Amino acid sequence: MEQAGKLRTGYRAAKAGRIAMAALAVVLTAGCNSTRQQTSTNSSATAAYVQPGSAEAMREVSAWSSAYQRSPDDRQVIIGFANALRRNGQAEQAMAVLRTAIIKHGSDREIASAYGKILAMNGNLQEALNVLQNAQTPATPDWRLLSAEGAVHDQMGNPQRARALYNQALKIVPEEPTVLNNLGLSFLLAGQAPDAEYYLRRAAASPRADSRIRQNLALALGLQGKFAEAQQVALNELDPQQAEANIAYLRAVLAAQNPRQGKPQRQG
């Protein structure tokens, strides 16, 4: 009986994780299309989304391309250009820019972190892991590399290792919103929405939190049936129609997950 209970619990967590992944894809797509925040050309990890192929995305690429032609060895220009290319859907070119940079600046942790991230985004997980680990210095670890490596482990199905790396990063930069966001997503994708909510609330409380973090919080709330609060958070980030569509989608997936439980209880 105990073994059967464990199997049922594992099945529910796996199912919740699959639902979270599907819902997360919807939220991130909405963020790409409808976020209200303005976008700058800085290379910050918390830069808002732009629609690939849009005039704004093309302006970013053009501006960073000109800067790159003038200063091809400048670290911030390299990373800024690669980020602009990635945000415009030009992942292959972004990888090429960073691959060239990593050959020239093999010990540069920030470039290695950016290269590892884009490798992982394109499914090259083992290569990403190798790049990130080779750039790391165990005696003086870089928190960005730790967080990026954690994200790769999450994608490889190693959440415990991923969370250990996130927590190690948080010892270096307490309450860093990008690390808390990754930690929250680790729990969310494992079907542990309450734990995800805890970390995403902490991330969203930071003045440096971006639209993606708050949309992830809205998702964690919605997956628990806290629709009123989820919609309030989403309304601050998305157009009203898109926010309502996201909440309607979450209601539908939860109803499909729990058909015998009826409609989830409204919160607030």
258 and 162 inside one domain: no
User: Is residue 233 in a domain?
Assistant: yes
What gap in Å lies between CA 76 and CA 84, rounded to an integer?
12
The proportion of the chain whose per-residue pLDDT surpasses 70, expressed as a percent, equals 74
The domain total for the chain is 2
46 and 150 inside one domain: yes
91 and 214 inside one domain: no
57 and 161 inside one domain: yes
Q: Could you tell me the CATH number of the domain that includes residue 105? A: 1.25.40.10
> pLDDT for 80-102, tens place per residue?
999 999 999 999 999 999 999 99
Among 24-38, 126-140, 164-178, 252-266, the range scoring the smallest mean pLDDT is 24-38
131 and 89 inside one domain: yes
User: Is residue 2 in a domain?
Assistant: no
**Would you say residue 132 has pLDDT above 70?**
yes
| pTM exceeds cut of 0.85 | no
Query: Can you tell me the mean pLDDT for 193-218?
Result: 94
**Would you say residue 29 has pLDDT above 80?**
no
> pLDDT for 213-264, tens place per residue?
998 999 999 989 998 998 898 888 776 777 677 677 667 766 765 554 333 3
162 and 200 inside one domain: no
**Would you say residue 104 has pLDDT above 60?**
yes
User: Is residue 64 in a domain?
Assistant: yes
Structural domain harbouring 253: 176-262
110 and 52 inside one domain: yes
User: Is residue 256 in a domain?
Assistant: yes
| HSE-up (13 A, CA, CB side) for residue 194 | 1
User: Is residue 55 in a domain?
Assistant: yes
Residue 253 contacts residue 224 (beta carbons within 8 Å): no
> pLDDT for 50-85, tens place per residue?
788 999 999 999 999 999 999 999 999 999 999 999
What gap in Å lies between CA 238 and CA 254, rounded to an integer?
21
Residue 128 contacts residue 119 (beta carbons within 8 Å): yes
Instruction: For the chain, list the strands marked E by DSSP.
Output: none
The tokens describing 66, both together, are 């000109």
User: Is residue 185 in a domain?
Assistant: yes
169 and 65 inside one domain: yes
